[in-house]
Amino acid sequence: MLLLSGLLGFILLQLRQASQRVAFTQALEVAEAGIDYYKWCLNNNVAGSCQSQKNVYDLSGNLVGEFVLVIDPSTSCGTTTAQAITSTGTPEKFPDLARKIRVLYSKESVAAYTYLLNDNVWAGDDREIRGVYHSNGGIRMDGENQSIVSSSAPNGEWVCTDSFGCSPCPTAYGCRTQGRQCICPGVFTTTDNSSPDLFDFPVTTFDFDRITINLADIKDIADDSPQEYYWPPVGEIDSDGEGYHVKFLEDGTFEVWIITDLDRVYGYSIEEGWKYDYFSIGEEYRYGNPILIDPDCSLIFVEDNLWLGGKVKGKVTIASANLISTTEETDIILPEDIEYTTFDGSDGLTVISERNILISPDSPSLMEIHGIFVAQEGRFSRNHYPSNIREKLEIIGSMVSNGRVGTQWTSGGIIVSGYMKREDYNDVNLIYNPPAFTPSISSEFQIVNWEEL
């Protein structure tokens, strides 16, 4: 009897421990069910009506446990940018074995890309690109790529013209002639610099309409602010005004300068050919005192052409567009460096232009710009200015361009204008925590961090 009772006691203990292990696993599954439940609420825009406490049943209808949710949203300008969710799962049996997990939900922004383009492009052999590079058109990648280079060229081919160095047609590198046209693979290279094993084509076309920002929303928020975050057409302030020059200061403020004179420089652009550009500042004056950037809603809207530079502290979004006239569009000009005060992820800049974002002809020989740059209807580039050669351009951020990009011009294989050396890095700190109104590349919230508490 003693031996039998001891054996039965041991068996019961083992059964209880097995039941506890099952309950311990179920507790995690119940907590995960709470996370999945709230993810569905977020992506279906019903989070406000979803329950924070709910029972969980198995397929047979048996009660498994209960989860309790605690939501900690991050907002900017009244818009939810991320959600930190803590879910505590308590099993029906052994409720003392509750488990708690915490996840961060956010949408992936365009900062996941170094370049996101909607046109054919040629990356020269001087380029160093450290980040995902995508174009809806064809890509000639002669530079050094350390990540995926993807193309959505139809049927994985595109017509490579003289402006992409395809005269004569580089048949030794996978291209072929068809009549008078040079047909090339979606992504190809003519150098040993690149990594063809990272070329990917054809891929699904990226929907640029999906990342088009509603500039009217930014204008309305900036205009409603008690601070000077909305700037009207410059002629309303000074009849001699030619545009605005915004300078960011490292103390978290910015200055607004009124440009009254622009120097002309003869140059060439893809759209307009040879003409005079008026992008170099001749005369300007500071208007008012430095303005503090609102950390809760750091939006600036300029209804005119905008020149931009300085040192950014905090996360800021600045946009330029003429929403008053239906026939005029604005450009953003970069005449100088744009830097952050720190690289720990607390600083960030998103620049949105109605048309082009252009580097000015008098830009520094060694130029460094940080930020996410979005040229909605135009392109990010530097026009061709004869014998105007600069040494190095370093971009830490993302370029989103509807048109063809280019910051170097060559003739017969010789650099005749622009930057001789170019390096590009995307800022991973801004992928899931960018400035307000930064375009997302995903429509749904995703788990970007998971931990058990």
Which helix (H) or strand (E) is 89 found in, with range? strand 79-91
Q: Please give the Cα distance from 354 to 377 (Å, whole number).
A: 6
Q: Please give the Cα distance from 91 to 63 (Å, whole number).
A: 9
Q: Please give the Cα distance from 315 to 145 (Å, whole number).
A: 29
Domain ranges of the chain: 2-109+446-452, 212-430
Please give the backbone phi and psi of residue 178, each rounded to the nearest 5 degrees, phi first: -140, 100
pLDDT tens for each residue of the chain, 453 residues long: 777 776 676 666 566 666 677 778 888 888 999 999 988 888 888 887 888 888 988 888 888 899 999 988 887 787 777 888 999 999 888 888 889 999 988 888 999 999 999 999 999 999 999 999 999 999 999 999 999 999 999 999 999 999 999 999 999 999 999 999 999 999 999 999 999 999 999 999 988 887 777 889 899 998 888 778 999 999 999 999 999 999 999 999 999 999 999 999 999 998 889 999 999 999 999 999 999 998 888 999 999 999 999 999 999 999 999 999 888 899 999 999 999 999 888 999 999 999 999 999 999 999 999 999 999 999 999 999 999 999 999 999 999 999 999 999 998 889 999 999 999 999 999 998 899 899 988 777 888 888 888
The closest of 346, 339, 351, 370 to 250, measured between CA atoms, is 339
- Work out the number of other CB atoms within 10 angstroms of the CB of residue 62: 8
Q: Please give the Cα distance from 10 to 40 (Å, whole number).
A: 45
Alpha carbon 247 to its chain's center = 22
Which helix (H) or strand (E) is 183 found in, with range? strand 181-185
The closest of 70, 93, 97, 99 to 83, measured between CA atoms, is 70
pTM score above 0.85: yes
**Which residue is it, tokens 């109605």?**
354
First vs last C-alpha separation in the chain: 46
Please give the backbone phi and psi of residue 318, each rounded to the nearest 5 degrees, phi first: -130, 135
